Amino acid sequence: MQKIGVFVCHCGTNIAATVDVKAVVDALAKEPSVVFAADYPYMCSESGQNLIKDAIREHELTGVVICSCSPRMHEVTFRRAAASAGLNPYLVEVANIREQCSWIHKDKAEATEKAIILGRAAIAKALLNAPLIAGESPVTKRALVIGGGIAGIQTALDIAEAGFPVDIVEQKPTIGGKMAQIDKTFPTLDCSACILTPKMVECAQNENIRIFSYSEVESVSGFVGSFTVKIRKKARYVDEVKCTGCGLCTEKCPVKNVPNEFNLGFDNRRAVYIPFAQAIPKIAVIDPDRCNMLKNGKCGLCSRVCEAGAINYKQTDEIVEEHYGAIVAATGYEISDVTRYGEYAYTESKDVITSLEFERLTNAAGPTGGVLLRPSDGKHPHTIVFIQCVGSRCVLEKGKPYCSKICCMYTAKHAMLTREKYPDTEVYVFYIDVRTPGKNFDEFYRRAAEEFGVHYIKGAVGKIVPRADGTLDVQAADLIMDEQLRISADLVVLAAAIEPSKTARKLATMLTASMDTNDFFTEAHPKLRPVESPTAGIFLSGVCQGPKDIPETVSQAGACAAKVIGLLSKNKLTGNPCVAHSDELMCNGCSSCANVCPYGAITYLDKEFRMPDRTTKVRRVASVNPAVCQGCGACTVACPSGAMDLSGFSNSQIMAEVDAICR
Amino acid sequence: MQVNEEFVPTIVAFCCNWCSYAGADLSGTNRLPYPANVKIIRVPCSCRVNPTFILRAFQRGADGVIICGCHPGDCHYTTGNYYTRRRMTLLFSMLDYLGIERARTRVEWVSAAEGQKFAETMRSFVKDVTALGPNRRLEDLRCRKD
């Protein structure tokens, strides 16, 4: 005889304001097998949990139904409470009467009726629950960090510091990411390279860290605790071990006209190159699209000058297979395409640039040695117009609906630094809103506007027309003064929206990690689990999860590392016991289930069966490996004889829920 | 067909735990309303939905059944939603043949981040089913409520 206890939560007024909790308790108490029903203001609180525990012991409950918030929120809490009272945790069911009832319905009678029906469905399911025991799986004590920007670097350093080995996979020839290209950082105006490069060096020197630069993740399989990852190490045509990073090859290479990606094409590099002076690892790379030797076998100069004998034109891509317990996505961002905004004349004029290009033009290690010069004629600009929200907060198809978060602050930084270094330059900033939440951020912006005399204009630039004399005719509206403005500018800087890396979507598919509509990775819970993906064992660091500045990225990277360390310090992981199992008496060994299983969890055994006439017969039957099965249930539907079922979501349980809802 | 103004259909929604169930939670968190006659059943993946569950729902008096899964390519289990798409295409055409109108059945892809889309989908589905009136074709009258 089943004894079910029903517990209805008020959630303060979150549920109780639209659902008549007492009426729900009364209705559910009348359901068959329900021996106890109660309500409580906060069921997840300690006293609420004690109410559940006491009832389990006192009434010898065989099942528990909690009508509360989403099971994605507190199912684990209630399962733990049940377990501590001696009830198998998988005998607990949660009816979602908050997110899927009280919060979406206004009419109290309607919401109460729905809550009762959801409660009945949960009772019907709970009556068919079976105690389940979770299996254990081992943990590979090594982490993979995908992306070698500041987020990936900080996460890797923190994990390595705790004593766990960690690998960084970076698609570019060097780690460092976008922060390496930035000149100064707000709001303290630290030199970006001065604070980043020591961390890069630390990565190279830490014996727990391995860097796979110029490499990409090829495939990911497995699950939390034991992932298998194939990494493609792209051919550099330079022996990583032999190369000393002396740079002689990069000076002698005769191909001199390759646009330099690091300086965003403002100057040129050779076909064999080291991205920048402080690159980690400092190993040359040959660009196969531009190298004469690789294209038509004519040159070989670099090979002749290399004293270490590191040049190897016959090198090919190498695939390495590694095992990891946890994977961190730190794929960062890219600057969105500003050519979609024809009104800003980005493609027509060299003097319309993006903010990242402005960083390179003011960077001491940049193409101009830090002297701000116009890209078109190399002259000093006397009037600079900054335009914010280019593509951000834009509801049109070509733009991004979100705020890129960093642009207000870096534009204030650019404007301030320009005025400081070149007081003769007039600086205008067009903005929709200035958003400066953050420690010392608003003070920084006010200094730019008040102390440094930057002209902040609330308004929008409608059109930029390049004139024959080289100036730019900026046509804009001042929304506060309600007037049309025309500014003759020498340089226009676009604060382009940031967007997730183009590689992120492909990676998310490999990791089976979910993404939002803007291709940012989704976190398991926006407030309570912000650095974890809903997929177990996948963690999120930096801008791949949402726009962030450097201080936020570094703190998130540390939080992410803490979660990874927590996982790797366990010797065994408790698995999910809601896995498939086959009824050997019904199974006819047809292979339909194995054909649809994405994990190869189903194998076949030849088993001896006793027949009614007392003879024995050997039959082929399906057998599920519970350690490999992830519990999707694809096999249960594919099985023609109905032999496959899924624990926790069995055929009879879902049928019972359907019946309860349609009753 | 005569449309009864008072008719409130019974809708069963099967939602994948990883995407649309979370999407439904998000529409709750954001207080985006949809009709109360939609009742959600949580499944680990849309591919867990056996065609017999849908037949059962119609037998028991459901007026519409909707299955929500992850967007193609985003399945938590890599390929589950592709199975759903194929299975349901066949099932829905068979149901159509049996007299269960196409508008009573739907497969939708709703991600965990699409609370707005979840609410809009449910509103439009309820509207479509309401316009069709009650399901009488497969309903097992022995299971009638009244």
Answer whether residue A471 shows pLDDT above 90. yes
Tell me which residues of chain B have a pLDDT lower than 50: 1, 3
Query: In angstroms, rounded to a whole number, what is the distance separating the alpha carbons of residues A597 and B47?
Result: 11
Residue range A227-236: average pLDDT?
97
Q: Over the stretch A37-69, which tens digit does the pLDDT of each residue have?
A: 999 999 999 999 999 999 999 999 999 999 999
The answer as to whether A654 is a domain residue is no
Residue range A284-292: average pLDDT?
96
| Residue B18 near chain A (CB below 8 Å) | yes
Residue range A218-232: average pLDDT?
93
Query: In angstroms, rounded to a whole number, what is the distance separating the alpha carbons of residues A338 and A335?
Result: 8
Considering only the beta carbons, identify the residue of B39, B83, B143 that sits closest to A661. Answer: B39
For residue A534, what pLDDT is reported? 84
Residues 503-532 of A with CB under 8 A from B: 508-509, 512, 514-517, 522
Residues 36-95 of B with CB under 8 A from A: 36-37, 39-45, 47-53, 56-57, 60-62, 70, 73-80, 83, 87
The answer as to whether A659 is a domain residue is no
Q: Which residue has the higher pLDDT, A240 or B142?
A: A240
Q: Do B61 and A655 touch (CB under 8 A)?
A: no
Does A346 lie in the same domain as A491?
A: yes
For residue A315, what pLDDT is reported? 96
Does A552 lie in the same domain as A612?
A: no
Task: State the best of A13, A505, A514, A519 to mutate against chain B, taking most chain B CBs within 10 Å.
Answer: A514
Per-residue DSSP letters for A104-120?
T---HHHHHHHHHHHHH
Does A276 lie in the same domain as A149?
A: no
Q: Do B41 and A657 touch (CB under 8 A)?
A: yes
Contact predicate A431/A390, CB 8 Å? no
- Residues of chain A with pLDDT > 90, as a percent, come to 91
Q: Do A104 and B31 touch (CB under 8 A)?
A: yes
User: Among A444, A469, A499, which residue terminates a domain?
Assistant: A499
Query: In angstroms, rounded to a whole number, what is the distance separating the alpha carbons of residues A11 and A44?
Result: 9
- Nearest residue of chain B to residue A116 (CA atoms): B39
Q: Do A104 and B19 touch (CB under 8 A)?
A: no
Does A472 lie in the same domain as A397?
A: yes
Query: In angstroms, rounded to a whole number, what is the distance separating the alpha carbons of residues A70 and B93?
Result: 34
Q: Do B31 and A103 touch (CB under 8 A)?
A: yes
- Nearest residue of chain B to residue A125 (CA atoms): B41
For residue A461, what pLDDT is reported? 95
Does A403 lie in the same domain as A257?
A: no
Please, where are the H alpha helices in A60-148? 71-84, 108-126
For residue B140, what pLDDT is reported? 81
Topology of domain B11-139 in CATH is Rossmann fold (3.40.50)
The three state secondary structure string of A355-391 is HHHHHHHHCCCCCCCCCCCCCCCCCCCCEEEEEEEEC
Q: Do A534 and B112 touch (CB under 8 A)?
A: yes
Does A177 lie in the same domain as A215?
A: yes
Q: Do B25 and A658 touch (CB under 8 A)?
A: no
Q: Do A96 and B25 touch (CB under 8 A)?
A: yes
pLDDT band at A524 (very low <50, low <70, confident <90, very high): confident
The CATH number for A487's domain is 3.50.50.60
Please name the residues in contact with A194: beta carbons below 8 A apart, sequence gap of 6 or more: none
CA dist B50 → A650, A652, A655 (Å): 11, 11, 10
User: Among A126, A156, A191, which residue terminates a domain?
Assistant: A126
Cβ contacts of B129 on chain A, cutoff 8 Å: none
What domain range includes position A290?
248-305
User: Among A568, A596, A616, which residue terminates a domain?
Assistant: A568
Task: State the best of B42, B145, B146 to mutate against chain A, taking most chain A CBs within 10 Å.
Answer: B42
Q: Do A662 and B60 touch (CB under 8 A)?
A: yes
Residue range A560-564: average pLDDT?
98
Cβ contacts of A99 on chain B, cutoff 8 Å: 24-29
* Distance (Å) from the alpha carbon of B31 to chain A's nearest alpha carbon: 5
Burial letters A372-387, b for 16+ CB under 10 A, else e: bbbbeeeeebebbbbb
For residue B145, what pLDDT is reported? 59
Task: State the best of A11, A70, A104 to mutate against chain B, taking most chain B CBs within 10 Å.
Answer: A104
The CATH number for A12's domain is 3.40.50
Contact predicate A28/A116, CB 8 Å? yes
- Nearest residue of chain A to residue B18 (CA atoms): A534
Q: Over the stretch A339-393, which tens digit does the pLDDT of each residue have?
A: 999 999 999 999 999 999 999 999 999 999 999 999 999 999 999 999 999 999 9
Query: In angstroms, rounded to a whole number, what is the distance separating the alpha carbons of residues A198 and A373?
Result: 30
Does A91 lie in the same domain as A36?
A: yes
Least-confidence region, from A258-262, A394-398, A410-414, A647-651:
A394-398
* Distance (Å) from the alpha carbon of B59 to chain A's nearest alpha carbon: 9
The three state secondary structure string of A449-502 is HHHCCCEEEEEEEEEEEECCCCCEEEEEEECCCCEEEEEEECEEEEEECEEECC
The answer as to whether A657 is a domain residue is no
Answer whether residue A456 shows pLDDT above 60. yes
The answer as to whether A240 is a domain residue is no
Does A525 lie in the same domain as A409?
A: no
* Distance (Å) from the alpha carbon of B138 to chain A's nearest alpha carbon: 13
Please name the residues in contact with A296: beta carbons below 8 A apart, sequence gap of 6 or more: none
Q: Do A662 and B62 touch (CB under 8 A)?
A: yes
Chain A and chain B share a number of CB contacts under 8 A equal to 164
Q: Over the stretch B56-83, which tens digit does the pLDDT of each residue have?
A: 999 999 999 999 999 987 888 888 999 9
Contact predicate A385/A461, CB 8 Å? yes
Does A424 lie in the same domain as A360?
A: yes
For chain B, the structural domain boundaries read 11-139
Residue A642 has what DSSP assignment? S
Residues 529-558 of A with CB under 8 A from B: 534-535
Task: State the best of A65, A98, A99 to mutate against chain B, taking most chain B CBs within 10 Å.
Answer: A99
Per DSSP, the three-state class of B48 is helix
Query: In angstroms, rounded to a whole number, what is the distance separating the alpha carbons of residues A116 and A130?
Result: 23
Contact predicate A91/A648, CB 8 Å? no
Query: In angstroms, rounded to a whole number, what is the distance separating the alpha carbons of residues A314 and A323?
Result: 28
Query: In angstroms, rounded to a whole number, what is the distance separating the alpha carbons of residues A39 and A17?
Result: 14
Q: For residue A284, give the nearest of A322, A254, A246, A255 by alpha carbon.
A: A246
Residues 120-139 of B with CB under 8 A from A: none
Cβ contacts of A598 on chain B, cutoff 8 Å: 77-80
Does A478 lie in the same domain as A397?
A: yes
Q: Do B111 and A113 touch (CB under 8 A)?
A: no
Considering only the beta carbons, identify the residue of A110, A596, A655 that sits closest to B83. Answer: A596
Does A344 lie in the same domain as A262?
A: no
For residue A222, what pLDDT is reported? 87
- Nearest residue of chain A to residue B52 (CA atoms): A655
Does A416 lie in the same domain as A324?
A: no
Cβ contacts of A646 on chain B, cutoff 8 Å: 44, 48
For residue A196, what pLDDT is reported? 96
Contact predicate A325/A567, CB 8 Å? yes
Considering only the beta carbons, identify the residue of A103, A509, A658 that sits closest to B73. Answer: A509
Instruction: Say whether the peptide bond before residue A187 is cis (omega within 30 degrees of 0).
Output: yes
The answer as to whether A301 is a domain residue is yes
Q: Over the stretch A421-450, which tens digit does the pLDDT of each residue have?
A: 999 999 999 999 999 999 999 999 999 999
Contact predicate A231/A222, CB 8 Å? no
* Distance (Å) from the alpha carbon of B109 to chain A's nearest alpha carbon: 12
Q: Over the stretch A582-625, which tens digit does the pLDDT of each residue have?
A: 999 999 999 999 999 988 889 999 999 888 899 999 999 999 98
**Mean pLDDT for chain A overall:** 95
Task: State the best of B8, B20, B30, B45 to mutate against chain A, taking most chain A CBs within 10 Å.
Answer: B45
Total structural domains within chain A: 5
Q: What is the CA radius of gyration of chain B?
A: 15
**ipTM entry:** 0.95
The separation between the first and the last C-alpha atoms of chain B, rounded to the nearest angstrom, is 23
CA dist B10 → A235, B110, B117 (Å): 60, 21, 20
**Angle subtended at Cα B106 by Cα A401 and Cα B73, rounded to the nearest 5 degrees:** 55
